[in-house]
Structure 1
């Protein structure tokens, strides 16, 4: 379950970063959209990191 969640989150983070790179190269005027994407990417990466840490703590306890 946890590894599945981590995999899904890392895919989401990767897609958000790829989307951000594409939008940076094609849509410079849309600064607001890029800012929103950046915020989403940071939040998703934060959640991913906390899930990974939680998984390591759980496996360390067992």
Structure 2
């Protein structure tokens, strides 16, 4: 059940993001959208700064 919730959430957010990027592409151009998308992997790198949950559970 939890896996279904996660997959549903991921596909739902992907669909919403695709629609938003389509609107931005219509307003600003596809080159602008490509530039935005090129910075998205940096969000993944920022997960290094998330708190360590193993230490939080010990408290």
- The two structures have a TM-score, normalised by structure 2, of 0.51
Q: Which residue of 1 aligns with 2:21?
A: 20
Task: Give the superposition deviation at 1:3.
Answer: 0.0
User: Partners of 2:12 and 2:22 in 1: how far apart?
Assistant: 15
RMSD: 2.6
The structure with the larger Rg is 2
Q: Which residue of 2 aligns with 1:4?
A: 5
2: distance between equivalents of 1:39 and 1:10?
A: 21
> What runs of 5+ residues in structure 1 fail to find an aligned partner?
41-62
CA drift of 1:16 comes to: 0.9
Compared CA separation, residues 38 and 2, structure 1 to 2 (3 A) = farther
- Structure 2: runs of 5 or more not aligned: 41-59
